[in-house]
Amino acid sequence: MDRKVKIVQYGCGKMSVYLMRYAMEKGGELVAAFDANPGVIGRDIGEIIGTAPLGIKVTDAAKADEVLKQTKPDVCIIATRSTMAELKEAFALCAKNGVNAISTCEEALFPWNSSPDITRELDELAKAGGCTLCGSGYPDLFWGTMVTNLAGSSVSITKIKGSSSYNVEDYGIALAKGHGAGLTIEEFHREIGNYNSLSSDEIKELVIKGAYIPSYMWNQNGWLCSRLGLTILSQTQKCVPHTYQSDLHSSTLDMTIKAGDATGMSAIVTTETAEGITLETECIGKVYAPDEYDKNEWTLFGEPETTVIVNRPATVELTCGTIVNRIPQLIDSPPGYITTDKMPDNAYMARPMHEYVKSR
Amino acid sequence: MDRKVKIVQYGCGKMSVYLMRYAMEKGGELVAAFDANPGVIGRDIGEIIGTAPLGIKVTDAAKADEVLKQTKPDVCIIATRSTMAELKEAFALCAKNGVNAISTCEEALFPWNSSPDITRELDELAKAGGCTLCGSGYPDLFWGTMVTNLAGSSVSITKIKGSSSYNVEDYGIALAKGHGAGLTIEEFHREIGNYNSLSSDEIKELVIKGAYIPSYMWNQNGWLCSRLGLTILSQTQKCVPHTYQSDLHSSTLDMTIKAGDATGMSAIVTTETAEGITLETECIGKVYAPDEYDKNEWTLFGEPETTVIVNRPATVELTCGTIVNRIPQLIDSPPGYITTDKMPDNAYMARPMHEYVKSR
Ligand SMILES: NC(=O)c1ccc[n+]([C@@H]2O[C@H](COP(=O)([O-])OP(=O)(O)OC[C@H]3O[C@@H](n4cnc5c(N)ncnc54)[C@H](OP(=O)(O)O)[C@@H]3O)[C@@H](O)[C@H]2O)c1
């Protein structure tokens, strides 16, 4: 592409601080920003990312349709909430305007196995609009391409075991609530752990009805199996609360979590495949105690056994870096809802991002 | 491809034990094996890999031309020695017979920056023969695609620092000698460390003359810069001997290394690029003391800083797994000497290898 990539930011919260700065640093041109929060609407984006005013003010998301038609951006970065049901409207708006969209929404990484109806609908809208929709972020690389790339050195894999933890405090309220942070153990089991005893078939029924709320690894295992060409036989999920021995303050929740209440959870997803490979993946999201830090560790069992560890990953920066680096591939993908397992692996951009875009 | 991939093994030493087994386990058909060592010629390959006889006997490499013409394999796996000068004949033979070839030879991973004349010559032969030549192995993934994949989450990189160590005892004599194992410190400095004080330009002159013996990271930095699209300004190399406080026996060298003599070395290669990214990569190959084990650790400095560690990698199995998994991509690559940075990233084969081959 022989001009700057035009980018719109949809959702101007914690992630947008990095997303907007990175998009500009990598040579993109920010043309608009949307939010629904009255406290954010009208603020200059420079103020949000901590620079001098940049002359672009956050517009009310209610006017997004109008602004997209006016500005005709190449890409919309959506960082609002965590489920496809919550994302549907923003994705649909982009699709109808022929604007490629990429989201930090965790379910969006591989929504085919948790919200198939919404995903199919968006896929059709995107095809009609001639643009691509996808989800990306930290999981795309650190639970995704890093693992499948490593698998490229394995001769036979019997099991893929992954474990990743992150601090609920680094993210917004949607993530904290999704992890049951601040709930009593009883509330946790009622609100979050209520699928724990469901069989694979029972969950499948809920998924078809559009009534299933997946943990991040639910979608991740779908992504991994799709990328590795594995046929899923069954998939189940267990959510287990984490607690801490003393009270912990959460600024995201604006409350103190009492000792013994849920600081967050482990969600463990187990997938069995026709190829004999078991996936057992766990994500741990909680309000950290002072001595805790982010971890990401994956082991491929089989011949040979290989473990890779990412030490204290800067989860937030890596999420936003991965999203911005996906932009050229997003633009170059065929129209539709295209999950990133169907794209080439992420790549570092040593030059301005438009030089990596092949289309137009 | 709708039939088994026909494979020939060239060099039946330590690596071939895994390479031949993996090639068959992944659905390839082994049609011949060559070696120059009279102690190996005539042995059944089943005996070499530790199974019942398989009816294929190791042929004298002097007859390779004849056998290649007869068997018309799709791929030849070359695991003989470590330099392009030593590999040239086998590669040329494959090219002339239109047989794709992949080698464990470390220099072969990116020989353009150390043996450009030989590589150009082989490139032309391969183009004329309509086949592809390349090098792969442990470095291809664990110093290569693993690092560039990780870089896909970085916004700005100032330095890539890598360190990898392996046990000289796990490999053949070529590798042991290349690392100065068993030399006195004086011999080491004369034979191995003799390029340590050379400037980037002085080394370039030696390279052009075909008189430079690169450490593995010399080629690796070339691979990484090529893959990341970086322009190299200068590259230098320092080889530093390692020693141990007691005598150590080496079965590969069939000798006892005296305390204080070289057990092997660290080779540190530093590359400066026009994009402002420095590469500082080190490989440590030595006869291990009882408490030492393989390590592989890479850090990307910049925004953000990310470290990835592979714990006690099974270097030998990973080398051979990576090579065998590259076979479909090798067959599908355009003719010429095509380094793996130009291929898609390695991928696990859940099904027989010929199902991953697009050509024919
Ligand atoms: N890239 C990687 O990741 C990686 C990893 C492991 C090894 N390697 C390299 O791969 C090569 C093979 O390793 P290895 O451990 O299998 O070595 P090895 O045990 O010494 O086996 C090599 C075999 O090839 C034979 N040979 C040598 N030159 C030949 C020629 N010109 N024609 C036919 N046969 C020949 C040798 O015979 P003689 O015994 O008579 O010499 C020996 O039988 C080494 O150079 C090693 O450094 C690379």
Integer CA distances (angstroms), A232 to A228, A279, B27, in order:
11, 10, 23
Residue of the CA atom closest to atom 2 of ligand 1: B137
For range B113-141, the mean pLDDT: 98
CB-side neighbour CA atoms (13 Å) of A8: 30
**Cis amide bond preceding A290, omega within 30:** no
The interface predicted TM-score (ipTM) is 0.94
Buried b (16+ CB within 10 A) or exposed e, B324-349: bbbbbbbbbbebbbbbbbebebbbbb
Q: Does the structure show a pLDDT above 80 at A360?
A: no
Instruction: Tell me if B280 sits within 8 A of B270, measured CB to CB.
Output: yes
From chain A, pick out residues whose CB is under 8 angstroms from the CB of B49: none
Q: Is residue B36 within 6 Å of ligand 1 at its C-beta? A: yes
pLDDT over 90 (residue A189)? yes
Q: d(Cα B356, Cα B195) in Å, to the nearest integer?
A: 43
In this predicted model, what pLDDT tens digit does every residue of A117-156 receive, in sequence order?
999 999 999 999 999 999 999 999 999 999 999 999 999 9
Say yes or no for a CB contact (<8 Å) between B347 and A275: no
Q: What is residue B172's predicted lDDT score, i.e. its pLDDT?
A: 84
| pLDDT tens-digit readout, B31-63 | 999 999 999 999 999 999 999 999 999 999 999
Q: How far is the CA of B114 from the centre of ligand 1 (A)?
A: 20
Residue A246 has pLDDT above 90, yes or no: yes
Q: CA-to-CA distance for B240 and B284, rounded, in angstroms?
A: 9
Q: Residue B173: CB within 6 Å of ligand 1?
A: yes
Which secondary-structure segment (H or E) carries A267?
strand A264-273
Residue A246, Cβ neighbours under 10 Å: how many? Answer: 10
Q: Which atom of ligand 1 is nearest to the CA of B322?
A: 3
Q: Which of B17, B78, B81 to mutate to test ligand 1, by most ligand atoms within 8 A of the CB atom?
A: B81
Which residues of chain A make contact with B275, given a CB cutoff of 8 A? Answer: 350
Both tokens of residue B104? 């464990």
Yes or no, beta carbons of A309 and B311 under 8 Å apart: yes
Residue B4 has pLDDT above 90, yes or no: yes
State yes or no: pLDDT of A45 exceeds 80. yes
The position carrying tokens 């925004």 is B303
Cα dist. B124→A243, B86, B119, B131 in Å? 65, 18, 9, 10
Dihedral, B24, B27, B28, B31 alpha carbons, nearest 10: 60
Mean pLDDT rounded to a whole number for chain B? 96
Residue B191 parent element (H or E) = helix B185-191
pLDDT at residue A82 tops 90: no
Distance CA B46, CA B61 (A): 18
- Parallel/antiparallel/unpaired status of strands B295-303 and B156-167: antiparallel
pLDDT tens digits along B14-37 = 999 999 999 999 999 999 999 999
| CA-based max dimension of chain B | 58
pLDDT at A88 > cutoff 80: yes
Provide the token pair at A19: 């997303």
**Distance between CA atoms of residues A313 and B263, nearest Å:** 35
Residue of B nearest to A26 (CA): B155
pLDDT at B175: 87
The predicted-structure confidence for A160-184, as pLDDT tens digits, reads as follows 999 999 899 988 888 899 899 999 9
Q: Which atom of ligand 1 is nearest to the CA of B135?
A: 1
Percent of chain B whose pLDDT exceeds 70: 100
pLDDT tens per residue across span B263-292: 999 999 999 999 999 999 999 999 999 989
Question: What's the CA gap between A232 and A235, in Å, rounded?
Answer: 7
Is residue B357 over pLDDT 90?
yes
- Chain B positions touching A232 (Cβ under 8 A) are none
Ligand 1 pocket test, pick from B37, B167, B250, B339 with the greatest ligand atom count within 8 Å of Cβ, gives B37
Decide if B48 contacts B137 (C-beta within 8 A).
no
Predicted confidence at residue A150, as pLDDT, reads: 98
> What does the pLDDT read at residue A171?
81
B81 in contact with ligand 1, CB cutoff 6 A: yes
The answer to whether the CB of B13 is under 6 A from ligand 1 is yes
Q: Model confidence over B140-156: pLDDT tens digits?
A: 999 999 999 999 999 99
Question: Is A348–B314 a contact, with Cβ atoms under 8 angstroms apart?
Answer: no
CA distance B218 to B204: 12
How far is residue A151's CA from residue B323's CA, in Å, rounded to a whole number? 13
Closest CB to B348: pick one of A22, A151, A322.
A151
Q: How confident is the model at residue B181 (pLDDT cuts 50, 70, 90)?
A: very high
- Per-residue tokens: B340: 């793996």
Percent of all residues in chain A with a pLDDT value above 90, rounded to a whole number = 90
B165 lines ligand 1 (CB under 6 A): no
Minimal Cα distance from A318: which residue of B?
Answer: B153
Average pLDDT (B254-266) is: 96
The two three-digit tokens of residue A312, written as one number: 């204290």
- Enumerate domains of chain A plus CATH numbers: 6-136+326-356 (3.40.50.720), 139-313 (3.30.360)
Ligand 1 pocket residue status of B253, Cβ below 6 Å: no
Q: Kindly report, residue by residue over A267-278, the tens digit of the pLDDT.
A: 999 999 999 999
Distance B20 CA to ligand 1 centre (A): 14
What residues pair up with B241 in beta bridges, in sequence order? B265
A-chain residues near B149 (CB < 8 A):
141, 145-146, 149, 345-346
Which one is predicted more confidently, A302 or B82? A302
Q: Which residues of A touch B153 (CB under 8 A)?
A: 138, 141-142, 318, 321-322, 325, 346
Q: Please choose, from the candidates B122, B57, B69, the residue with its C-alpha nearest in 3D space to the C-alpha of residue B99.
A: B69
Prior bond to B139 cis, omega within 30?
Answer: no
Shortest CA distance to B131 belongs to which of B327, B337, B329, B358?
A: B337
Supply the pLDDT for residue A193. 87
Residue to mutate, B16, B21, B35, ligand 1, most ligand atoms under 8 Å from C-beta:
B35
For residues A36-64, average pLDDT: 96
Q: Which of B22, B157, B303 sits opposite A317 (nearest CB)?
A: B303
Contact: A157, B321; criterion CB under 8 Å: no
Instruction: Convert B291-325 into a string of H (helix), E (strand) and C (coil).
Output: CCCCEEEEEEEEECCEEEEEECCCHHHHHHHHHHH
Q: Is the pLDDT of residue B360 over 80?
A: no
With bands split at pLDDT 50, 70 and 90, how would you rate the model's confidence at A303?
Answer: very high
| B28-61 as b/e: b if 16+ CB within 10 A | bebbbbbbbeeebbebbbbebbeeeebebebbeb
In this prediction, residues A333-339 reach a mean pLDDT of: 98
Q: Rounded CA gap, A356 and A75, in Å? A: 14
Beta strands in chain B (DSSP E): 6-10, 29-35, 58-60, 75-78, 100-103, 132-135, 156-167, 232-242, 248-250, 255-257, 264-273, 278-286, 295-303, 306-311, 336-337
pLDDT value at residue A175 = 85
For ligand 1, is residue B335 a contact (CB within 6 Å)? Answer: no
Could you tell me if the CB of B35 is within 6 A of ligand 1?
Answer: yes
pLDDT value of position B100: 98
